[in-house]
Amino acid sequence: MAPGFRSRERVDRTNSAQVAARAASLSIYVAALLAAVKIVIGWKGHSVAVISDGIENAADLVTSGLVWLGLWIAAKPADQDHPYGHGRFETLSGLAVGMFLAAVGAGICIRSFIGAGGSDVPHLFAIWPVIASIGLKSGLAIWKWRLGKRTGSTALQADSKHDLVDILSGGVALVAVLLAIFGAGMQWADHYGGVVIGIVVIFMGLSVIRETVLQLVDTMPDDRQMKQIRAAALRVPGALAVEKCFARKTGLRYHVDLHLEVDPHLSVLESHDIAHQVRVAVVEDLDWVEDVLVHVEPHLARVNAM
């Protein structure tokens, strides 16, 4: 291994988690501002849909906080008790985000049903914070999704999907308010717009839960990624075949278990050297791989020819 390779790699990946954590911190401030403005203006403008949208933004405070906490812990280096690092805490924070979203969605639905038969008509000024929110959240969603893909953060990608929910819920709130104001006898649209927002939030929460659970049960990466691992390993001189290859995600990166076939006539030292080069090659070529455990096997074709 090149001198300092692992130390540089560890610093780069710690930085990735720190960058993602800073993005989550920014989301907290944005969510606080939007929630306060929407709830106040929704209340003054007699709009249940805008208040519901504000409550959904208030939930962002909790979800972004959970993401930030998970990323902060995930950035800690491996230790004696956590030899694979602390990446699972990032996945757990994504699971907590999904569970919280589902609960908030249910709460929004229940609240919006209350008083659904009321006759209050929202004021037109209630739509302005919703319009501003849609534009702001669109930019945040794209930025956090790209950053989550680059850093490998499941929690940050989940948070970007939550921003997409904000955009959708904002659109629903906007339509609901406009229908309640301009639609003849459609005052009910404002309340039922809140119900729709709650349903959307529930389904997004369930989607996030599903994705994080798949990681927690060590679901393998897709075939394209597995082929990339094998190709990187077989580029090393002396690596004749890959008998088995498994990978599991522990937070931001994957840990790989690889059974490598080499010439059975090689010495233990020579085989070990090839295995070491394979480990370095895979980690260097694939930035989404954290580490590789290589087990050396004799190449079966050459064993049979002996």
9-53 pLDDT, tens digit each: 444 545 566 666 677 677 778 878 888 998 999 888 888 888 888
Q: What does the pLDDT read at residue 123?
A: 85
CA atoms within 13 A on the CB side of 270: 11
Among 73-87, 157-171, 279-293, the range of highest mean pLDDT: 279-293
Residue whose C-alpha is closest to residue 53's, from 158, 143, 116, 137: 137
Contact 157, 27 (CB under 8 A): no
Q: What does the pLDDT read at residue 119?
A: 57
d(CA 299, CA 303): 6
In the structure encoding, which two tokens stand for residue 283, read together? 């980690």
- Give me Rg for the CA atoms of the chain: 25
d(CA 206, CA 190): 25
Q: Of the given ranges (24-28, 193-197, 267-271, 293-297), which has the lowest mean pLDDT?
A: 24-28
Q: pLDDT digits over 75-118, tens only?
A: 777 778 877 777 777 788 888 888 888 888 888 888 777 755 55
293 confidence band (pLDDT: 50, 70, 90) = very high
The more confident residue out of 292 and 214 is 292
Q: What does the pLDDT read at residue 11?
A: 41
Residue 247 dihedral angles phi and psi, to the nearest 5°: -150, 145
223-304: which CATH topology?
Answer: Alpha-Beta Plaits (3.30.70)
3-class state of residue 137 by DSSP:
helix
Mean pLDDT, range 290-301, rounded to an integer: 86
3-class state of residue 248 by DSSP:
strand
Q: What does the pLDDT read at residue 95?
A: 86
Q: What does the pLDDT read at residue 305?
A: 55
The gap from C-alpha 230 to its chain's centroid, in whole angstroms, comes to 26
d(CA 165, CA 207): 12
Q: At CA 162, angle to CA 48 and CA 78, rounded to 5?
A: 145
Q: What does the pLDDT read at residue 3?
A: 42
Residue 265 dihedral angles phi and psi, to the nearest 5°: -80, -10
Q: What does the pLDDT read at residue 69?
A: 79
CA quadruple 272, 276, 281, 287: dihedral sign:
positive
Q: CATH 1.20.1510.10 in the chain: give the residue spans.
A: 5-216
Q: Is the pTM of this model over 0.85?
A: no
Query: What are the Cα distances from residue 300, in Å, to 211, 231, 243, 259, 304?
Result: 38, 19, 10, 13, 6
Model confidence at 273: pLDDT above 90? yes
Query: What are the Cα distances from residue 271, in Å, to 60, 184, 255?
Result: 52, 80, 21
Q: At CA 276, angle to CA 306 and CA 257, rounded to 5?
A: 85
Q: Which CATH architecture has domain 5-216?
A: Up-down Bundle (1.20)
The contacts of residue 135 (CB under 8 Å, 6+ apart) are none
Alpha helices by DSSP H, listed for 183-252, are 188-216, 223-234
Contact 122, 47 (CB under 8 A): yes
Q: What angle, rounded to 10 degrees, do the helices at 154-182 and 48-74 form?
A: 170
The contacts of residue 132 (CB under 8 Å, 6+ apart) are none
Q: CATH 3.30.70.1350 in the chain: give the residue spans.
A: 223-304
Among 28-42, 240-254, 262-276, 286-300, the range of highest mean pLDDT: 262-276
Q: What does the pLDDT read at residue 8?
A: 43
Mean pLDDT, range 57-67, rounded to an integer: 76
Q: pLDDT digits over 115-161, tens only?
A: 555 556 788 888 898 898 898 888 888 888 888 777 767 667 767 77
Q: What does the pLDDT read at residue 270?
A: 93
Mean pLDDT, range 157-175, rounded to an integer: 80
High-pLDDT (> 90) share of the chain, % = 18
Contact 106, 139 (CB under 8 A): no
Contact 220, 255 (CB under 8 A): no
Residue 110 burial (CB count, 10 A): 12
